Amino acid sequence: MEVICHFSFRFAFFNSQLILMTILLVFFYFLIPVLILYLTKKVSFFQKIGAVVLAYIIGLIFGNIGIRPSVSERFKGMLGHASHLSAEEAEQLLRQGVIGQSDMLYNQMATVQENIMSVAILLAIPLLLFSLDKKKWLKLAKAALLSLVLAMVSLLAIICIGHYIFKDLIYDSWKISGMLVGLYTGGTPNLAVISAALGVDSNTFLLTNTYDMAVGAICLVFLMTGAQWIFGLFLPKFDSKHSQLTNEMEDDPQLYFDHFQNVRSKNGMLDILKGFLLSAVIVAVGGGLSLLVAKDTQMLTAILSITTLGILTGSLKRVNKIQNTFQLGMYFIIVFSLVIASMGNLESIFHIESLHLFGYVVLVVLGAMVIHVFLSYLFKVDADTTIITITALTYSPPFVPVLAGALKNKQIIISGLTGGILGYAFGNYLGIAVAYFLK
């Protein structure tokens, strides 16, 4: 009897540890992004680095300084490719003495991380799409739409080439192909969505995004410095026919996605609450629809349903005019980035296969750019529009004003936002479709 009481006391104490760890993780993952946004707003150095990159750095440090509970080889074998077991399974194994308390803590941490990732990315999708006014954007820049189509054709061509080069060298290369389509149509948000839909493990996601950041940083410097002159040698000069439209929108704070308009005011907070609740309703509907299909396609169904509902809802004027929805969506992307980075194990992700993945990323980035510029030459798309489309798709819309400033041409902001926002909207469909086609 005394032994049973002692065991029950120990188990109750251990359960309190699990609860405390869960609470601390939730606070960490949702409050650190607020600090990151504050730092990028107040400190120019952090602003240059960017919120997503900062989230990755902090997440990697957090996940690789020994805070993560140790896990036994036996429990690793039980997990296989899964990130965690259900709480009921893990508790039963603990009671049977099959796994230890450290394994249980590891499982709980992985469960919390997985849940936060899912919630963050699903809430982010509609929020990122609410600000899309399709009629306005489609009227603004025919050249941007042509450039967008050329960019998509270039990307799909090099993805197919790369897949058949690396399919025997990279495990699940069809998933990587789908991720790269998402990455180069909407940046990190689409990469996150597609990786979740395809069930990509955290190390592969992290490594792909890390290589993209390394290669992308070099390409970004080129786009900001020499690209305008080099592309201008054989592409037409920018056509100023959009100058009147640009002047009308130049002061629109929605052009600068790191700016939360009147966030401290009553109306600003009310708009954020409205956007959040509407997004939550859409996620609930999408989640409900996913329960109607087979278990292995539930996440895919949820994401595509939520994306579709986000586009349709964003077409409503009352929704489209809600302030700060895009920024709130990016906040959840930062939460996602922080979590996914903290799950990455630096000791295990750098192996020989990663060199092939690096080669695939380099091929896609450089190959898509070369093909796009060639097609722009054939279809007589100007140099500035070509550059801003590449920027908007590869680096996402927040970089558009930065590149426009570097090129000394604010008029291309509209063209860049057109391609970037449409890339956000349709990149999820395209990436998932390409992945399953190549599979």
Q: Which residues contact 403 (CB under 8 A, 6 or more apart)?
A: 223, 224, 387, 388, 391, 416
SS3 at position 81:
coil
- Tens of pLDDT, residue by residue, the chain (439 residues): 544 554 454 556 667 878 888 899 999 999 999 999 888 888 888 877 777 778 888 988 888 887 778 777 777 777 755 677 777 787 787 777 778 788 888 888 888 988 998 888 889 888 877 876 556 555 555 777 888 889 999 999 999 999 999 888 888 889 899 889 888 887 777 777 788 888 877 777 777 877 887 787 788 778 878 888 899 888 888 765 445 555 554 445 444 445 555 666 667 788 889 999 999 999 999 989 888 887 766 776 787 788 788 888 888 888 888 888 878 888 888 888 888 878 876 665 555 446 788 889 889 999 999 999 999 999 988 888 889 888 888 876 667 766 776 777 766 766 776 677 777 778 888 888 888 998 8
Q: What is the pLDDT of residue 76?
A: 72
Question: CA dist 41 to 143, 231, 264, 311, 315, Å?
Answer: 33, 33, 15, 29, 30
The DSSP H or E segment spanning 23 is helix 2-42
Neighbours of 166 (CB within 10 A): 18
Q: Is the CB of residue 390 less than 8 Å from the CB of residue 144?
A: no
Question: How large is the C-alpha radius of gyration of the chain?
Answer: 23
Region of 54 on the Ramachandran plot (φ > 0 left; ψ -120 to 50 alpha; else beta): alpha
SS3 at position 50:
coil
Model pTM score: 0.69
Q: Is the CB of residue 418 less than 8 Å from the CB of residue 143?
A: no
Q: What is the pLDDT of residue 352?
A: 44
Domain residue limits, the chain: 127-438
Q: Is the CB of residue 177 less than 8 Å from the CB of residue 435?
A: yes
Residue 284 corresponds to which tokens in the numbers above? 């609930």
Residue that is written with structure tokens 């529009």 in the block: 385
Question: What percent of the residues of the chain are helix, what percent strand, and what percent coil, each to the nearest 5?
Answer: 80, 0, 20
